[in-house]
Amino acid sequence: MINTRFSVAIHILTLVASQTDKGVTSDFIAKSVNTNPVVIRRIGSLLKKANLLKGGPGITGYSLVKEPPKITLLDIYQAVTTEEELFAIHDHPNPNCDVGRNIQDTLDTSLTRAQQAMENELKKQTLAEIIQHLSIQ
């Protein structure tokens, strides 16, 4: 399941990219996202681990590690989601039922194809395109 971490991560990176002349802090970003700075720091930590963002204690504000055209939406998605989050399949269907016995394998195939299609689309889009669409910077 895609939660709000993905959209908040895009928001963070877009804001950091568009405010290069300022020290973009978690407090500043939190006001734009309308959330608690702790949420921003948690997502920021994931983005730092993925080598998309730098900053933190002792450094005033965040900055991008790569230029926006080199950051794909897939990079961002992978930074803030776990492997099996997009589609969850219910556990322990009845093995004595024809559908229950086969539903997981069937859904795994279909949902894996759907996830791959989504990831392929995210790979084609960059942070620079988001910024351009917003008409900022």
- Residue 112 binned pLDDT confidence (cut-offs 50, 70, 90): confident
Residues 12-21: b if buried by 16+ CB within 10 A, e if exposed? bbbbbbebee
Q: What is the CATH number of the domain that holds 98?
A: 1.10.10.10
Instruction: List the Cα angle 127/66/13 in 5-degree steps.
Output: 45
- The domain of 73 spans 4-134
The predicted model scores a pTM of 0.84
Whether the CB-CB separation of 126 and 69 falls below 8 Å is answered with yes
The pLDDT value given to residue 55: 83
Asked whether the beta carbons of 66 and 50 are under 8 A apart, the reply is no
Q: Which residues contact 52 (CB under 8 A, 6 or more apart)?
A: 13, 64, 65, 66, 71, 75, 76, 79
CA angle, 48 then 125 then 31, to 5°: 50
Give residue-wise pLDDT tens across range 76-88.
999 998 766 677 7
pLDDT of residue 85: 62
pLDDT in tens, 58-107: 667 899 999 999 999 999 999 998 766 677 777 788 989 999 988 888 88
Q: Does pLDDT of 1 surpass 70?
A: no
User: How many distinct structural domains can be found in the chain?
Assistant: 1
